[in-house]
Amino acid sequence: MSHDSKIVVIDDDRGIVLGVQMRLTHAGYEVLVAYDGTEGLELIQSANPDLVLLDVQMPNLDGLAVLKALQDDPATATPPVIMLSASLQDQQTALDAGAHYFLTKPYRSSDLLDAVTSVFSVPACTG
């Protein structure tokens, strides 16, 4: 299976990043990674991804702050964001903040692919 979609993964847990990267690359996606919010914002600005997978709980600049920064900048406000967290309590906060989808860690790789497919299948809003 081959996709032309570029996905940025931002998570401070290198093990999770490696697993996500391997699974999505195997599914045919181009995957770029960052290990903190600041690095992630820079990567998104330079890479212009089609989707962002973003951990909520990270040191320094957490996922919610990254999401807000993306939304506040017209150059980075377009890609949908799937937020990830080990805390189910983060789900409503993330969705209220504008995340398109939320996955609770740990999750199965099939759930990850379902989430990515689901987000890509929703038509983009224009206007």
Domains of the chain: 6-120 (3.40.50.2300)
Q: Which helix (H) or strand (E) holds 82?
A: strand 81-85
pLDDT at 126: 45
Q: What is the mean pLDDT of the chain?
A: 92
Average pLDDT estimate for 33-61:
96
Q: 124 pLDDT band (50/70/90 cuts)?
A: low
Residues ≥6 apart with Cβ < 8 Å to 5:
29, 30, 50, 51, 120
